[in-house]
Structure 1
């Protein structure tokens, strides 16, 4: 069968719609609005996170219970949430309910109730979430790592990447009905992307989306720069942590680079399963850590390598040493076996990611937001098949992330 083709339109007002037809009884869509926690105003950290919760407290003439009942009556599954750079609204269900589902999400963004009485409850829940970070050292470490590696530029009006979506206690205390209403005006068609996967005629889906979101304002899209500080070390004392948790952030490859795919293969060889270098060197060979991983992170249009390990306090220094040694070994290249396994693993993830309607809808919005176009699954598979070991190793010969790595450890005692 021919691979499905994505249709992409920029609608009146600026909303970008990507649609891919798939046979079957269901649909999924993913709306990405380019306003995330990094866009929180300085001093009002938590704006995006609290606002997203507030939107679901009623819309389109329904109160919170009525809106949830409308979702449940149709058997719709909701997904999404607030990330550093965007807020996502995802829904999946049976194909006949696509028009109603689009209407419900459009109500959230065009006709929200935003009941004032709910705001104190939501800010209190956000404070509880912040308090819960203390009980989750890996999550707390991730926040501390971003705080060191990506500090807010002094001249930026945005709070940046150095806080969780729940905000900060000080920022939450400054949230008001008025300033959140002002923040809500950032939401709009400009820079927003909607990915839809369903068994329907393309023109029909376009008309549904145009009717549902007619009159949605342009909003205000703005990219928050990710100014990475290389080569730093910090330890965060945490007396209740039983382990020492380690975070390593290093330069990577930007999505628009011709080396993007080679970098993805290299990262998969580094941390892509039980045959990967980190798993073998850190866990299997030395028993230093039960959990160790590395993954790509995209912030501010740039790519970064993020690695994590959790070890005993006594063995944390050795764990960090081995982890950094594996990063330093990357410029020497991959073996033929490593390359084959990594390329096969990536190819499998491309195929399985395309099988899920929800994953594919999210893939459409991610592609447009990150790469500026939809990358057909067949094209990705062909690009992987055409990639050679020589090409990957030529890239790795000039890629040495270890010297620029910024390291944050969290746990009892002194630094690892």
Structure 2
């Protein structure tokens, strides 16, 4: 992205600085855990969480773009672009980018999801200015050269091939297609061999200019960081690229809307010569903004979230039919999924599906016991806190919260929401969601008669 493409209205530096706004979103205790937000000219948001007791810092930039923003011909462009931003800028080559972070013992990476993309670096606190400079340069100064597009095409095709070799991963893409069909949410984040081979440099460059405007970005930093210093360094990096010249720009609001998933009883089978059959049985879930998500989290934990869960006990411990069996939820801006995964011998697939379906029906009709709910609340509360023990997790939390919700929730508030879930709350969510007719995705070496029988699992 050139300075010219980022510059829309010429403004002086003093005019730009006059519109920066800073808020304390979560006060913390004695300055520890304080979360602040500054909105810079150009609509760029910077959020930080300060933890003076650690010696590391994680810096990330979240982009309001994911694979659901792609047209069919652009499927895979978001992830392709993620790769290309590491290939060089006006100031740094690809080697310079990686060597700068390696030289200080840091780590740098990125990930692409259905609704967002994140680039991040984790370093010692003293090396945070370097991390900010490198990551901001990548986001604002990428060259996207034709030769890099062609070279990286092979890398992405290898990544697709690597993923295809893991049916335990592919089955989740197959389940998404089963539930969403040929829509952006139903297509794979990586794209397909055909779409990746067809993408051109100009298509990717246009996608970059459209979705990496400062109004679409959230900068997040967590650890031993000073908010004012982070803001100053980020502002300097973006101003150098000519990206903060629009004083009237407004940050892009979180996604909203309501999408109804009406699929029921659909079965997708991919025949492969694998040692196991990989299955996902599931139905529509809840959007990530739905207040019932706390009850769903408790339900999911009790049903298939650990070794004491119903599915683990019934399928693995009592019958020994699978090594891996669990339930999960996926929440998007306007819809969601609830799924149960199991990997088992092909000859046992119908028994495993029968047990899973019986447990879903039983919980939908009868709910969970008080003991199961209490245990799930404790497990979910503990895992929530333990999952925020490093600066990378904290950066992910505040960055994603700003991008997807537009606000922040303290850990204490999260724990209070979980603790407030009642048996009636769980029973209501279970009845509504698990009472739906499920759909099914299966990958494995199933014979024709076995595949035909799979429809009984969703009838």
Judge same fold: TM > 0.5, yes or no. yes
**Residue in structure 1 matching 2:202, options 168, 173, 178:** 178
Q: Following superposition, which runs of at least 4 residues in structure 1 exceed 6 angstroms of deviation? A: 217-222
Secondary structure, counterpart of 2:122 in structure 1:
strand
Question: Cα distance, 1:352 vs. partner?
Answer: 1.2
Secondary structure, counterpart of 2:73 in structure 1:
coil
Instruction: State whether structure 2 residue 209 is matched by structure 1 residue 190.
Output: no
Secondary structure, counterpart of 1:354 in structure 2:
coil
Instruction: State whether structure 2 residue 399 is matched by structure 1 residue 365.
Output: yes
* Structure 2 CA distance for partners of 1:132 and 1:25, relative to 1, 3 Å: closer
Aligned to 1:405: 438
Aligned to 1:277: 310
Greater CA deviation, 239-248 or 87-96?
239-248
Structure with the bigger percentage of helix = 2
Question: Cα distance, 1:105 vs. partner?
Answer: 0.9
Q: Does the 8 Å CA contact 1:245/1:411 hold for their aligned counterparts? A: yes
Instruction: State whether structure 2 residue 276 is matched by structure 1 residue 243.
Output: yes
Aligned to 2:105: 75
CA–CA distance in structure 2, aligned partners of residues 404 and 315 of structure 1: 22
Aligned to 1:161: 185
Instruction: State whether structure 2 residue 362 is matched by structure 1 residue 329.
Output: yes
* Structure 2 CA distance for partners of 1:127 and 1:391, relative to 1, 3 Å: closer
Aligned to 1:31: 61
* Structure 2 CA distance for partners of 1:402 and 1:387, relative to 1, 3 Å: closer
Secondary structure, counterpart of 1:89 in structure 2:
strand
CA–CA distance in structure 2, aligned partners of residues 44 and 253 of structure 1: 27
RMSD value over aligned CA atoms? 2.4
Secondary structure, counterpart of 1:59 in structure 2:
coil
Aligned to 1:112: 142
Aligned to 2:296: 263
Aligned pairs for 1:248-397 (under 5 A) are 248-331=281-364, 332-393=366-427, 395-396=428-429
* Structure 2 CA distance for partners of 1:259 and 1:27, relative to 1, 3 Å: same
Q: Does the 8 Å CA contact 1:150/1:226 hold for their aligned counterparts? A: no
CA–CA distance in structure 2, aligned partners of residues 221 and 181 of structure 1: 24
Aligned to 1:156: none
Instruction: State whether structure 2 residue 86 is matched by structure 1 residue 56.
Output: yes
* Structure 2 CA distance for partners of 1:102 and 1:340, relative to 1, 3 Å: same
Greater CA deviation, 258-267 or 211-220?
211-220
Q: Does the 8 Å CA contact 1:29/1:196 hold for their aligned counterparts? A: yes
Secondary structure, counterpart of 1:123 in structure 2:
helix
Question: Cα distance, 1:182 vs. partner?
Answer: 0.7
Q: Does the 8 Å CA contact 1:330/1:399 hold for their aligned counterparts? A: no
How far does the alpha carbon of each residue in 1:145-200 deviate from its partner, in whole angstroms, 9 at most, with x for none?
111211245xxxxxx13332331122122211111111111212223222211323
Question: Cα distance, 1:383 vs. partner?
Answer: 2.7
Q: Does the 8 Å CA contact 1:80/1:90 hold for their aligned counterparts? A: yes
**Given the two structures, how large is their TM-score scaled by the length of structure 1?**
0.91
Q: Does the 8 Å CA contact 2:283/2:433 hold for their aligned counterparts? A: no
How far does the alpha carbon of each residue in 1:118-171 deviate from its partner, in whole angstroms, 9 at most, with x for none?
222211222222233432112221222111211245xxxxxx133323311221
